[in-house]
Structure 1
Amino acid sequence: MKLTLENDLTYDAFLGGKLHLWQPRRGYRAGVDPVLLAASVEAKPGQTALDLGCGVGAAALCLKARLPDVDVFGVERQAFYADLAQRNGLNVLQADLAALPADVRQRQFDHVLANPPYFDRSASVAASDVGRETAMGEATPLQKWVEVAAKRLKPKGYVHFIHRAERLPDLLAALPSSMGSTQVLPIAPRTGRRAELVILRARKEGRAAFELFYPRILHCGEKHEKDGESYTAEIKAVLRDGAALKF
């Protein structure tokens, strides 16, 4: 796909302007989810992180903006998005996570994070835009995402997934026996509403008991009252100030 900057791309602010990303004007565009995912990673200086299916690099680069001493790396299947991630400043490899090259398979990371496609197309309608469909429609099985993420972890490393709440059973079932200390953070749009997203974190060789945390609420109020930003103070701090999202 040939790009014309004025027509095809936007340069969007994240984290209150601490980070700017080139994105396609049409097709899949990073939103709140990769920012929340990055905020949930409790990395330490000098550690490494791999973003599987990184898109334009939103999750990895939000993590880097909060923790500049963490070395981040991305893998992206679509050349168009991999090129944009590179332009945005992420060290990225264009590859299918199901067929990673040998040099990547030989590396291990302290953290692996992923925002896999949310929708099983056997029960939903495909998007008309190819880039958006690849990002949102599950072509590679979720089990494969979890399997690859676990393999790329160092011993005692952490995997982090954000996904639709209804896919939590699939995520838990896909975790290999090497993964433990599983934690789940539900995310609900408003007070009194059911969780629509979950962030799952698990540790390689972890032995702690499973933990299910209380839901985080995205928006103030029980219903939408008026146009404009309505994020809760905790979520606003994550999205605008680059704060961590604590489990």
Structure 2
Amino acid sequence: MSIYTKDHLLDGKIVYFQPKLGYRSGIEPIILASQANNKDKTILDLGSGCGPISLILAHRFANAEIVGLENNTFHLELSQKSKIENKFSNIEFKNEDVCKFNKDYMSYFDLVLSNPPFFFENQIIKSKNDSINNAKYISKEKSQKWFKNLIHYIKDKGRALIINRFENIDFMLGVFSLFNVIVEITPILSFKDTKPKNVLISLKKNEKYVEKTKNEIIIHSNSSKYSKQVEDWFK
């Protein structure tokens, strides 16, 4: 019996392998990948999992240099399998602990995208599945290192984008406030006029620390279908 499934991204344009019983991708990679543009020549997928963000970017931006860092070896193997299946030559997936600072990446990337674990250890019952544990749970200490490295890796005129739980926003802002950055906060709502479950955060280096709040992203229309904005991101 296979331990992974062969799926697709962007309406069948990309072949994507992911665990059958482990962590499976949601809407977050679609949202994050949609934030990239042609000006982003060097892109880091920090904590790349099975590679959905990197794969989408490789398809959309053939001339970009894309690096995906992932600590889980099973996820990394599936990333490589997807890369080969799609014949992408502009991605490099690496087995690396994203919580350890890598001086080679200091101020190197135009864009850093990250969908780090949402849940803090000791605050929720963890799964017995290693794939799910690696993708969903993290200590606060490691989370701080993750976010700090992310900021260090962007160029002076670069940017970073993160999706995380909205309830973690005070913790995240506490880390970001240690740096001279502009933080743009975009709540993510399942439906209009509901409370946000997740948040998209944009970071840019600046002369001082600044916080801004932007209009929310609404995932579903009233009919439970994806909103027009989100539908466009799947193309």
Specify the TM-score bucket, using the shorter chain as the normaliser. 0.7 to 0.9
CA shift, 1:101, in A, is: 5.5
Change (3 A) 1:160 1:33: same
Which of 220, 225, 230 in structure 2 is aligned with 1:230? 225
- Equivalent residues of 1:180, 1:206 under 8 A apart: yes
The residue that corresponds to 2:138 in the other structure is 138
| Percent identity for Structure 1 against Structure 2 | 25
- Equivalent residues of 2:189, 2:216 under 8 A apart: yes
- Equivalent residues of 1:61, 1:72 under 8 A apart: no
The residue that corresponds to 1:66 in the other structure is 60
- Equivalent residues of 1:51, 1:75 under 8 A apart: yes
CA shift, 1:98, in A, is: 2.3
The residue that corresponds to 2:86 in the other structure is none
Q: By percentage of residues, which structure has more strand?
A: 2
- Unmatched runs of 5 consecutive residues or more in structure 2: 84-90
Rounded to whole Å, the distance in 1 between the matches of 2:137 and 2:209 is: 33
- Equivalent residues of 2:166, 2:197 under 8 A apart: yes
Q: How does 1:149-160 map to 2 (within 5 A)?
A: 149-160=150-161
CA shift, 1:127, in A, is: 1.0
Deviations 1:11-31, CA, capped at 9 Å, x for gaps: 111111122211111101112
CA shift, 1:161, in A, is: 0.5
Amino acid at match of 1:205: N
1:92 aligns with 2:93: yes
The two structures, once aligned, show a CA RMSD in angstroms of 2.1
Moved more, 57-66 or 144-153: 57-66
The residue that corresponds to 2:111 in the other structure is 111
Rounded to whole Å, the distance in 2 between the matches of 1:101 and 1:163 is: 23
3-state DSSP of counterpart to 1:157:
strand
Change (3 A) 1:208 1:126: closer
Q: How does 1:39-78 map to 2 (within 5 A)?
A: 39-44=34-39, 47-78=41-72
The residue that corresponds to 2:206 in the other structure is 205
Query: Size of the alignment, in residue pairs?
Result: 227
3-state DSSP of counterpart to 1:54:
coil
1:24 aligns with 2:25: no
Amino acid at match of 2:93: V
Rounded to whole Å, the distance in 1 between the matches of 2:232 and 2:124 is: 34
3-state DSSP of counterpart to 1:35:
helix
Rounded to whole Å, the distance in 1 between the matches of 2:63 and 2:177 is: 30
Amino acid at match of 2:142: P
3-state DSSP of counterpart to 1:96:
coil
- Equivalent residues of 1:217, 1:232 under 8 A apart: yes
- Equivalent residues of 1:142, 1:170 under 8 A apart: no
3-state DSSP of counterpart to 2:184:
strand
CA shift, 1:53, in A, is: 0.8
1:80 aligns with 2:74: yes
The residue that corresponds to 2:196 in the other structure is 195
- Equivalent residues of 1:147, 1:176 under 8 A apart: no
TM-score, L = length of structure 2: 0.88
TM-score, L = length of structure 1: 0.84
Deviations 1:79-129, CA, capped at 9 Å, x for gaps: 111121122224111011123556x44671111111110001221110121
Rounded to whole Å, the distance in 1 between the matches of 2:147 and 2:175 is: 6
- Unmatched runs of 5 consecutive residues or more in structure 1: 1-5, 242-247
CA shift, 1:170, in A, is: 1.5
